[in-house]
Every structure is written in structure tokens, then in C-alpha cells.
A and B are shown apart, each in its own frame.
Chain A
């Protein structure tokens, strides 16, 4: 006997895209049900953004304490610190629990019914839910929102299991590895690799491309490269992974076809993520695809009427804030409002140390898009606040059209620059010109002054350089 439930909107997936869509739909009075097989919050809250930032913070604090146990120029003297990794993980789990519980509370407040279980699509209006406990439910809905997210890509010669872990496993270590090999020098691999290095592991990174963070330009990644080298992370660029055995470690082949083994007692595979588009009956809907992603229009409609898709399932950039914005759009469109997902820019942050922020177009991308652009950078070495933070590495760079000085991109690298993403993105969405930013008073002493100075420099009259 299957329970039958009818609702207007059914959301599959309780990650940042799905829960935001459900909350907004609830606020707008749409009867909404959300299905989640694991914990509310999805990858982002439970095994992604939030726990990784917690681990990175803990690692950073541990490193600082160690740094001060040496001959700190600040005059602070501490005993050599030690690390209780189990407590670190408990602390991180506490944050995750609080946030996941918070999402549940917000959904309840918005009047959304949450069903815990795995969904299986029968057709575009019918979904069968198999709860972990209790009886199966058949849902009938007018609108079906697919927000199933993505999962780590597994390498065939390096299957997950045992010492070979994905980012999920790396975020909940029971013990600290002595030697960690990270496969993939993208932002996930480097964020976690750097954190493990700070926690005390010996870290080697294997990357198939010739450079780290292949998505960013080299000027931007140079301070990260310097930091990696300084911290003792060993890079093997232009190398491919052949396999792993516990005796020798990770087998690596270099670009010149030399083969060698990197000893490792843990291997983190971070070679990218793929949309979760199979295993729950989505194939039966025969949706139009855009490569491995579900194709959607500016309102996140799929090729089937009444079926919507958002988040990592719908394409790059696979970022939580993109999914959240799409979720809001879908809820409002279903509520009858005219909405479109057409941002001018989606910020991307890489939480390495130093952090990297990219919003809008880089100088190279602007050129490739046919814009005649000027760009200018302001180094943190000339910023007073950066000096007081011992964070003088890095810079802020602005890209603007030469003809009307419209800002088309911002990039920054340095400690704490992630918070500058707000200013960057707002300026682009508002259609700011260089003169607008240059004419705005930026508080002194803050890292944000570098934002204003970059704009001034692009205009040819920076003050502090």
C-alpha cells in the first residue's frame, strides 16, 4: 500500500538550490514538498563549502599557533601546540549540525513539508519516494524541480575506498595522514591540500595540467604557487596518475613518461565534480541535455513542461550561490512573477591561502570577447591594513572597457580577499564605471582600499603607488 500525496511543487534535493527554492515557494504560498535522501543542506552545508571552510580555519589557526611557538615577530610566545584532530572534526560537525538544523527550521517556518528519502521519477508529474524507514510515498505534483546537485568524479584506476578518499572523506578524517597525495590542483584539491599541510601532513599534489588552478590566469595564481612552495607542498605538474598500492603509494607518470611512486598513506582524489543526473529515473523524462548537464532556459525550465532544474545539474559554474539564485527565480516564476536568471556576474572564490576571487571577466577573457579593455592592479604591499595583518602578498585587479570605463571584471588574490567579492559583484551588477568606484570613499585602514586604488590606477591617478 503506497501513500499518495499531491502537491503543487515538489523539489528533489535539499541542497542550497533546493532548500532556497522551497523556502521561497513556501513564502509565496505555494504548497511545496522537499525530498532529501541525506541531510538538509546538501553538499555545500554538509560535505562541501562549510565543513571545508571550518577545516581550513582550524588548520590556519593551528599553523599560526605553531608560527608563534617559533620566534614570532609580533612578540607572542606560546608553547608548541598539539592537535586533537578528533576534536577538530567534532567542532566542524557541530557547525554542520547547527546549519543543517537551521535549514530544517527555516523550511518548517515557510510551511514546506520535508520528506526524508530517495526519490525516483516515474514521470514528469509523479515521483516515488522510498524513505529509509516507513512506507513508500507516491507524490503527484504540478511542478517538479530537479536540484540533485553533483558528486565527485572517481578515477577508474583510483577507486574511492580505504585510503583513497573524495573531498567528503577528507573533511572527516579520523586520523591525520602522515603523507597525503592530492590528485588534482583545482580549487578543492588545493584548499584541502593546503589545510592538511598546515595540520602537519606531508602533502604532494599531482596535476595533469602544466599549472595549478588551470581556470585562472597565471598572474593570479602566482601568489598561491609561491605560498604552496613556501609551505612545502610538493607539486607534480603535467603528471598523470596510474594507480595506487599501499606499499609504494601513488604511481605517477610524468610528461616525459618517467614513472615514479609517491608514498602515501592517504590519497585525496579531487579531479572535478559531475552532475548527478542518473540513478533516480531522470533519464525516463528524456530531457534535452547540454553536454552532461540538463539544458535549461533563463527561467530554469527544462525541455519538459512543468519540470525545472537548477544548480550543479544545469551547468558551470557549479557554485552554491548560483543554485540559490536560480532556486529563487524558479519559485517566483511558479508563483506567477516575471523573473529571469540573468546575472551580470557570478563570483567565484578559491579558499586557498592566499584566497583568490574572480568576478566577471579577466583581461584575457575580455579581449577574447572582443572588448577593448584597460586593466590595472593594486598590490597589497602598498596597503596599510595588509601590512598590519602580515598579508602583503597579492593584489586587486580591475578590468574595464576603454571606451566608457564600464567595469567588466575584478580579480583579487591575497589573505581575506574573499570578502571583497561582495563589493566586486555589486559594482558589476550596478553597472559601475571606474569613476564610480574611484569616487567612493573606502574605509581606512581596510583591504578594501585596494579596490578603490585599483580603479584609480586604471584611471591613471592612483594615490598610494
Chain B
């Protein structure tokens, strides 16, 4: 029997560290060759790590949520024949890419303590990330439940009896809801009414839950923070009259909906973006601010902001400029589905040059979209509403919709940003132009 250590493989693309998202095995489990042992997440995607050998899991090297360097030991297996480790060698300590990957609020109750990696009894040298095992606990105040005896010192109880006050009805402001002499005074002073800050008919709710920000959520948090920290956002909101566009969309859906699929407003917006971007190449770009280089792209790789179960993801529709309305609609549906099901290929989640974000019916009046760094622009779609408008002295009902957009003001001037949105507006308000090359 030998010991075999599985290390975090080099996933390529210059990735130096990964985040451990899920364990598929536990110490003591038997694993077959090629069986998936863990999921790790890179900047780009979630990757399954398969076991190159069959054996029995001896110890796990990290806890879920840890960020670990490529090449660190992930798992130890007991295998037939010689392993790749000497029998008694201590495992190299896991290289913690970050000192404290999961920061838990200091006052969190013990139940929320981070999962401990399972120590290996046999060898007693399980590579355990250093964590304080006993998080200091402190107690939140808890409201009395029905029928629970009120908490008060003997002197307070005696005084309450003397005053004819039932302590059950007195709000306790002390630790653990203890009723103090002052609470008794306040109760009597208020004529037995509940204190202003206390419960007035509705029960106070206490308790808190600490959720470790790990996995996709941490990735989102980092991306958002990075974007807002680096990019001075310039936001611009314009109203678009989409009456004609909606008429066209209804017509197309009526004619071709059955055979080619229904169109949403998104492919039209994508088409308008593609056309408008020809005049504004500085907006279809990525800004490497460390190198000081803006790279403009001839093709439009459209990021599609997508809500998934785990959180926001931005899968990419490649070469949107080459797609007609239906191909674009199918493409958007396909990449969004890929992101939601978690089956998106790695390159389907990176390389976008501009992003489109829509909350559909929840779009609101205006929004301030956050740029998908290192892109330099994002266009958000707001709610479509029918409103009375004056046209040629007549009040007519028109369908209106706002576009809320943000630009990286370091490399996109406000004037160009406004002109770009106005170009989109012109195309969308006269939709025939969308099909004129």
C-alpha cells in the first residue's frame, strides 16, 4: 500500500490559484480512477478535479471556501502499490493564497463556525489550515418566549411583588433580557404600557446568521468591488420610443414565431448596439489599466448579464455582429442556459467586449449598471411602459422604454457616450434602419 497525493492541477490560462467550492469525497471513501473528487473555481469557471488513480481517501487538504495555490496538495489517497509519496512524509502545508479566505464576523455564534477540514487520525498530520478552533462566542439578547419565567434578581422580584407588578409584562433591558430596577420604574412610570422601544404588539425578532461569502458569491463580490474601485463610472439614461419597434416585433413573431421562435426585445437591442458601435470603436473595447492599453475589437462579443441560482453571471455571445435576429435570440438563450445549468464552457464565460443587462419587467425607470471590468461600457434596459405623448399637437399613446448605461470615463468621453446612445436610439426608433447596412 502506498500513499498518493493529488495536487491541484495546472488548469492553464496562467491561473495560479483556485477556490475550493465542493468536496465530492470524504475521508474513508473509496474513489475510482477518473472519479471526480472536488470542484474548484477559477476566475473563469468551475472545474471538476478527477482522481488519476483508484484508492481510499485518507485526508482532505483544505476546507470548502479556501483559496489554494496550483500545485498544493488537495487530497491524500491510500493506493495499491507504491504511491507518489514516502510513507511518513508530512504533507506540504497547503499554500494559503489568502491568509483568511473566509472572514466570519467576530461575534458570530459557534454554529456558523467555518467547516473544519477533517484531521487524519492515522497519520495525525492532516494539512489543516490554521483557524482558531474556539471562536469567542457572545450572546445576542433573546426575547422571552411564551410561558418562560421572567429573569430578574431576587431584589427586583421582591420589589415587583411589593408594587403589585407582574414581571411577565415588564420589558427586560438587561443582559439576556434581565429585568432591572430601572425597567420596573419605567414600567410603572408608563402606567404599565410597553416602553416605546419595546414590542408594541408585535414580537421582536432576534438572531443572526453569518453566511460565508465563498464561491461564485465571492467572485461576484470581488468583480463588483474591482469594477467600482477602478472605474470612474459615467452613467447616462435616455428615453426611447419603442412603439415602432414593438409593432415590428409583434409582426415578426406573428409571421415567424411558430417556426423560428419568438423574439424578445434583446436581439433588436443587440443589433442596434452592433450597428452603433461601428461609429464608436472606443466603446467596444477592453481597458488593461495596469498596462495602460485599450484594446478595441472589430467583433462584438456581447456579455449577457444572467441571473443564476448562485448569483450573477455574464456568459458571452460571440460575434454578435454576425448574427441575425433569430440567431441572436437563440444564442442569448443558449449562453444564458449554459450559465444557469453550470455547464458553460470556460471560454463561454470570458472575453466579452461590452455587456447588455436587462431585468425585463422588473427593469424600473432607471438603473446604474456596473461595468464588467475590463470592459468599458454596459447598457441596461429598463421597463417598457405605454404613456401619453404629445405628437404634432395630439396626445397619443406611445410605448416608451429607458436605456440606462454606464461608461468608463477614463477612456470614454461623456460626449461620445451620449452620441453612442443617441445612435442606438435613432436605430431603435426607426427599426427599418436596423436592417440597412
Whether the pair A431, B136 counts as a contact (CB closer than 8 A) is no
Interchain Cβ contacts within 8 Å, total number = 57
Q: Which of B43-51, B57-65, B169-177, B358-366 lines the interface with chain A?
A: B169-177
Residues of chain A with a CB closer than 8 A to B149's CB: 344
Q: Given that A429-B153, A429-B154 are contacting pairs, would A404 and B177 also be in contact in the complex, using a CB cutoff of 8 Å?
A: yes
Q: Given that A340-B161, A404-B176, A405-B176 are contacting pairs, would A431 and B151 also be in contact in the complex, using a CB cutoff of 8 Å?
A: yes
A433 at the interface (CB under 8 A from B): yes
Q: Given that A338-B164, A342-B157, A406-B151 are contacting pairs, would A435 and B175 also be in contact in the complex, using a CB cutoff of 8 Å?
A: yes
The docked-state distance in angstroms from the alpha carbon of A459 to that of B142 is 18
CB closest chain-A residue, reference B153: A430
B139 at the interface (CB under 8 A from A): yes
The docked-state distance in angstroms from the alpha carbon of A56 to that of B73 is 64
A436 at the interface (CB under 8 A from B): yes
Report A402-420 CB contacts with B as 1/0, cut-off 8 Å.
1111100000000000000
Whether the pair A436, B134 counts as a contact (CB closer than 8 A) is no
The docked-state distance in angstroms from the alpha carbon of A229 to that of B158 is 47
Residues in A322-358 with C-beta less than 8 Å from chain B? 337-340, 342, 344
A431 CB contact (under 8 Å) in B141, B162, B176: B176
Whether the pair B134, A460 counts as a contact (CB closer than 8 A) is yes
B296 at the interface (CB under 8 A from A): no
Whether the pair A403, B152 counts as a contact (CB closer than 8 A) is no
Residues of chain A with a CB closer than 8 A to B254's CB: none
Whether the pair B152, A460 counts as a contact (CB closer than 8 A) is no
Residues in B355-406 with C-beta less than 8 Å from chain A? none
Q: Given that A338-B161, A340-B161, A406-B151 are contacting pairs, would A433 and B135 also be in contact in the complex, using a CB cutoff of 8 Å?
A: no
Residues in B174-201 with C-beta less than 8 Å from chain A? 174-178
Whether the pair A337, B162 counts as a contact (CB closer than 8 A) is yes
Residues of chain A with a CB closer than 8 A to B207's CB: 403
B178 CB contact (under 8 Å) in A337, A401, A431, A460: A431
The docked-state distance in angstroms from the alpha carbon of A337 to that of B164 is 11
Whether the pair A403, B157 counts as a contact (CB closer than 8 A) is no
CB of B110, distance to nearest CB on chain A (Å):
7
Whether the pair A461, B136 counts as a contact (CB closer than 8 A) is yes
Q: Using C-beta atoms within 8 Å of the partner chain, give the interface range for chain B.
A: 20 to 34
Q: Given that A431-B151, A431-B153, A433-B175 are contacting pairs, would A405 and B134 also be in contact in the complex, using a CB cutoff of 8 Å?
A: no
Residues of chain B with a CB closer than 8 A to A402's CB: 109
CB of B188, distance to nearest CB on chain A (Å):
15
Whether the pair B161, A435 counts as a contact (CB closer than 8 A) is no
CB of A30, distance to nearest CB on chain B (Å):
19
CB of A437, distance to nearest CB on chain B (Å):
12
Residues of chain B with a CB closer than 8 A to A401's CB: 142, 176
Residues of chain A with a CB closer than 8 A to B151's CB: 406, 431
CB closest chain-B residue, reference A430: B153
Q: Given that A405-B176, A436-B175 are contacting pairs, would A459 and B153 also be in contact in the complex, using a CB cutoff of 8 Å?
A: no
Report A77-118 CB contacts with B as 1/0, cut-off 8 Å.
000000000000000000000000000000000000000000
The docked-state distance in angstroms from the alpha carbon of A403 to that of B177 is 12
B52 at the interface (CB under 8 A from A): no
B110 CB contact (under 8 Å) in A429, A460, A461: A460
The docked-state distance in angstroms from the alpha carbon of A406 to that of B149 is 13
The docked-state distance in angstroms from the alpha carbon of A460 to that of B109 is 11
Whether the pair A338, B162 counts as a contact (CB closer than 8 A) is yes
CB of A321, distance to nearest CB on chain B (Å):
14
Residues of chain A with a CB closer than 8 A to B152's CB: 431
B140 at the interface (CB under 8 A from A): yes
Q: Given that A431-B178, A436-B175, A461-B134 are contacting pairs, would A404 and B161 also be in contact in the complex, using a CB cutoff of 8 Å?
A: no
Residues of chain A with a CB closer than 8 A to B135's CB: 460
Residues of chain B with a CB closer than 8 A to A338's CB: 161-162, 164
Whether the pair B176, A433 counts as a contact (CB closer than 8 A) is yes
CB of B348, distance to nearest CB on chain A (Å):
46
Report A289-328 CB contacts with B as 1/0, cut-off 8 Å.
0000000000000000000000000000000000000000
Whether the pair A459, B161 counts as a contact (CB closer than 8 A) is no
Whether the pair A404, B139 counts as a contact (CB closer than 8 A) is yes
CB closest chain-B residue, reference A436: B175
Residues of chain B with a CB closer than 8 A to A342's CB: 157
Residues of chain A with a CB closer than 8 A to B175's CB: 404, 431, 433, 435-436
Residues of chain B with a CB closer than 8 A to A431's CB: 151-153, 174-176, 178
B137 at the interface (CB under 8 A from A): yes
Whether the pair B176, A459 counts as a contact (CB closer than 8 A) is no
Whether the pair A459, B137 counts as a contact (CB closer than 8 A) is yes
CB closest chain-A residue, reference B109: A402
CB closest chain-B residue, reference A457: B134
Report A377-421 CB contacts with B as 1/0, cut-off 8 Å.
000000000000000000000000111111000000000000000
Whether the pair A406, B137 counts as a contact (CB closer than 8 A) is no
CB closest chain-A residue, reference B164: A338
CB of B324, distance to nearest CB on chain A (Å):
61
Residues of chain B with a CB closer than 8 A to A435's CB: 138-139, 175
B136 CB contact (under 8 Å) in A337, A339, A430, A460: A460
B140 CB contact (under 8 Å) in A339, A404, A459, A461: A404
Residues in B203-217 with C-beta less than 8 Å from chain A? 207
Whether the pair A404, B142 counts as a contact (CB closer than 8 A) is yes
CB of B203, distance to nearest CB on chain A (Å):
15
Report B66-109 CB contacts with A as 1/0, cut-off 8 Å.
00000000000000000000000000000000000000000001
Q: Among B137, B153, B158, find the residue whose CB has the most chain A CB atoms closer than 10 A.
A: B137
Residues of chain B with a CB closer than 8 A to A405's CB: 137-139, 176
The docked-state distance in angstroms from the alpha carbon of A436 to that of B161 is 26
A339 CB contact (under 8 Å) in B109, B142, B161: B161
The docked-state distance in angstroms from the alpha carbon of A404 to that of B176 is 5
Report A265-300 CB contacts with B as 1/0, cut-off 8 Å.
000000000000000000000000000000000000
A-B contact pairs, 24 of them (CB 8 A): A337-B162, A338-B162, A339-B161, A340-B161, A342-B157, A344-B149, A401-B176, A404-B139, A404-B140, A404-B142, A405-B137, A405-B139, A406-B176, A430-B153, A431-B151, A431-B174, A431-B176, A431-B178, A433-B139, A435-B139, A435-B175, A459-B136, A460-B134, A460-B137
List 7 other contacts, CB 8 Å, given A339-B161, A460-B134: A338-B162, A342-B157, A402-B109, A403-B207, A404-B175, A431-B176, A436-B175
Which 7 A-B pairs rank lowest in CB-CB distance, beginning with the nearest?
A460-B134, A405-B139, A404-B176, A338-B161, A431-B151, A406-B176, A431-B178
